Structure 1
């Protein structure tokens, strides 16, 4: 069963959008007698002061499309800041979204989905109309021009030769969700001009700048140690092969940082270290393998962090949350992190290992052949383990770890294949944000097809 949680305002916004789009169709200029039409779903997945994340799905009701360009206008000054699964640009109020290489072909009754983050000021109304390939969406299916004999019935156009894929009826949330939407939200470098880096020296300079920036990592950058990342940065890998090898990124007391679509390999400390009260961090769609210590460690009172759609493989210590049993005075009331749709692929431990944070939200992750343990709640932490898929994982979750005393752990709606049953106890604070919970039995296919680098069209 698909479970949705939405703020009341977002429910009303989505309902209004649905009403506004009822009967809306998409028409594309194909052959003169092609049957055309579709529907568009536009929903605000999360919203915070000054920012929001949205998901868009086109359902093709007519003949197959070989590519699409979707356009709409905003009426209240909203601005798109970054997107995934589509190339999106904006001129004034007009927004243009074009397919990327892998989702341009849309068969009859097929769908194409993408998501984006944006900014808003006084209000955030949904668009009132859409067009595809410069033709206004009108609903229904009809030929773009009349045939030579209008009285002759048009032959029925066959659908795709293969059936549409089965799975969840609502696309998974691939935009920003979770704790990083709180505390004012996380926008990284926002609309700042982008710069592309190809060397360690250029990367070091770019991430260490005091100015807001969008930094695009191209190719393999070899380095050592930890590179300091300052506030208001978006760090994006270009394509599927962008790699940082030998070193890691250190967010030390700064805020509003996004790291996406990068392969981290062979780091000599941590791959990503979030510490010293760093806040509003989003770590998304990266891959981690063969490093020394943690893939993603969050500690020393850091807060409002989302870690999503990453893949960890060929590595032992994955994700530590809270570094020491002796740090309660600094960490209590902080270390609030969401871990969702990550793929722990034959990794060892700490998925995550949690101290003090409450609530920590671990949902819709895929654990496969985990050799040590999945989740550990220690030192009075509160962890909600929800809707995950555990396969060949003897110890999916437990209380306490090593010399650390137990925390609380609530587990619900998880799916187990050849795995242990886990240990639970205590209670966990409520989750304050809206999120979509995918059905646990679908999580394996969802995560393996979407986690890691090269999945977001950058």
Structure 2
């Protein structure tokens, strides 16, 4: 009976928290209101982190994280509920066709329904083939240092409602064609796979938050083939050439429906280009920190709409100071819409605008959030990337 009572109390607390988030999405508490005794008084948090990092008991109520997402992914409340299955990774090994219980692949592919994956301890996982993640799956690395490195990495193929949080993904390598176990334990035949850290194919309502990504063979994050309703937030991208691609290729017209929010991320040091590169579609780039670039920071082709809002762009000491790049293919880019609103530019950085006006993202009440002033970007992105969360302590 005590077990059922505990579950009822947790479910009630979760429901109340969700209701607060849904009906007051723009609420910002004063700096000293309801602060956990474990929270440092000087720490400034962005709207996502403010939602959960102030809690001293985050590890006991992990699923509250799903109520904290903003941007085009909306609230990830489809990932939680009374039917949620909790799965703990205890074994860092990997088998692409017959994964053992306790491994990451087993939890991401073999279990049907809503799955919340955590890790018993810190570990380094070398995937033998790309990890195909099922719909309604959360991979939550908080409380451990989780590295996916040295082999294949993550692939979201025709799935929805996925959260990837708190993982270090690096040194991903291209993979030859072959079979791999996919969502719902179905065998899939994959062609050649580039060495991307995370690739999305025809997937929707995806939240990628607080991960550290670097030094992969191809890109760090690709959103392709009709994927939409994506939020990419609080990540640290560093030491890489082609960082983020949004849109499959110039001929893939379905990407005109693509909507992506890129918020509170830290780009650099040593990021060269594609932060992001956008084909078709609409992207809201907001409250990000850019520590230089080699070729450009934000670019694209096929006339995408990009709203750059309240970002901090710090140009490199030498080389190009221009933030943007366009591959013109339609009357020298006259129908483009690249707009800068309330951005801050340092060290000679400058932004070439194209289009008549700033096209707003038109978020609904589950997606909207208050944009911070660009002067606050440094403190609110200071903890971007995978957090060092200790159990029974603040995150």
Q: Quote how far apart the aligned CAs of 1:323 are.
A: 1.9
2:79 corresponds to which residue?
Answer: 189
Checking the alignment, whether the CA contact within 8 Å between 2:36 and 2:54 is kept in structure 1 is no
* Residues 45 and 54, structure 1, Cα contact 8 Å, conserved in 2: no
Indicate yes or no: 2:326 matched with 1:400.
Answer: yes
Cα root mean square deviation, aligned: 3.3
Q: Could you tell me which of 61, 65, 72 is aligned with 1:179?
A: 72
Residue 47 of structure 1 pairs with residue 22 of structure 2: yes
Cα gap change, 1:58/1:376 in structure 2, threshold over 3 Å: closer, same or farther? closer
Change (3 A) 1:222 1:53: farther
Match of 2:275 in 1: 351
Change (3 A) 1:116 1:88: farther
What's the secondary structure of 1:247's corresponding residue? coil
Measured in 1, the distance between the counterparts of 2:197 and 2:137 equals 17
Q: Compared with structure 1, are the counterparts of its residues 235 and 43 closer, same or farther at alpha carbon in structure 2 (3 Å cutoff)?
A: closer
Contact 1:390 / 1:396 at 8 angstroms: preserved in 2? no
| SS in structure 1 at match of 2:205 | strand
1:376 lines up with 2:293 in the alignment: no
**Deviation readout 1:166-192 (Å, 9 max, x if unpaired):** xxxxxxxxx3110011xxx42363142
CA distance in 2, matches of 1:216, 1:429: 39
Aligned residues of 1:54 and 1:116 also touching (Cα < 8 A): no
2:369 pairs, out of 429, 435, 458, with 435
Query: In structure 2, the residue corresponding to 1:214 is in which secondary structure?
Result: strand
Is the deviation greater in 296-305 or in 393-402? Answer: 393-402
Change (3 A) 1:249 1:67: closer
- Size of the alignment, in residue pairs? 315
Instruction: List aligned pairs for 1:283-322, cutoff 5 A.
Output: 283-322=208-247
Distance 1:53 1:117 in 2: 16
Show structure 2 runs of 5+ residues with no match: 1-16, 40-50, 174-194
Q: Offset at 1:419?
A: 3.4
For the residue of structure 1 that corresponds to 2:69, the secondary structure is coil
Whichever of the two has the greater Rg, that structure is 1
Q: What TM-score does the superposition give when structure 2 sets the normalisation length? A: 0.71
One of 387, 390, 393 as aligned partner of 1:454: 387
Match of 1:385 among 291, 308, 314: 308
User: Which residue of 55, 60, 74 corresponds with 1:86?
Assistant: 55
* TM-score, length-scaled by structure 1: 0.62
What is the deviation of 1:409?
A: 0.5
In structure 1, C-alpha distance between the alignment counterparts of 2:144 and 2:293, rounded to whole Å: 25
Structure 2 contact 37–56 (Cα < 8 Å) conserved: no
- Alignment check: 8 A CA contact 1:196 1:216 kept: yes
Matched, 1:274 2:274: no
Q: Displacement of 1:196 after TM fit?
A: 1.8
User: Cα 1:55–1:216, aligned 2, differ >3 Å: closer, same or farther?
Assistant: farther
Give per-residue Cα distances to partners, 1:301-360, cap 9 Å, x unaligned. 1110000000011111111001211111x222x2100000100012111101001112x1
Q: Distance in 2 between matches of 1:388 and 1:287?
A: 20
Whose RCO is larger (CA < 8 A, sep 6+)?
Answer: 2
Are the structure 2 counterparts of residues 454 and 83 from structure 1 closer, same or farther at C-alpha, using a change threshold of 3 Å? same
* Counterpart contact for 2:222–2:245, Cα < 8 Å: yes
- Specify which of 335, 353, 363 is matched with residue 424 of structure 1: 353
SS at match of 2:370: strand
In proportion to residue count, which structure has more helix?
Answer: 2
Match of 1:409 among 327, 332, 338: 338
2:46 is aligned to: none
Q: How does 1:29-428 map to 2 (within 5 A)?
A: 47=22, 59=32, 83-88=52-57, 116-118=65-67, 175-181=68-74, 185-187=75-77, 189-191=79-81, 192-197=84-89, 198-199=91-92, 200=94, 201=99, 202-209=103-110, 210-217=112-119, 218-239=122-143, 241-245=145-149, 246-268=151-173, 269-276=195-202, 278-328=203-253, 330-332=254-256, 334-346=257-269, 347-358=271-282, 360-393=283-316, 394-401=320-327, 406=333, 407-426=336-355, 427-428=357-358
CA displacement, residues 210-269 of structure 1 (integer Å, 9 cap, x when unaligned): 321001144211124421111001111133521111322111111000000100010111
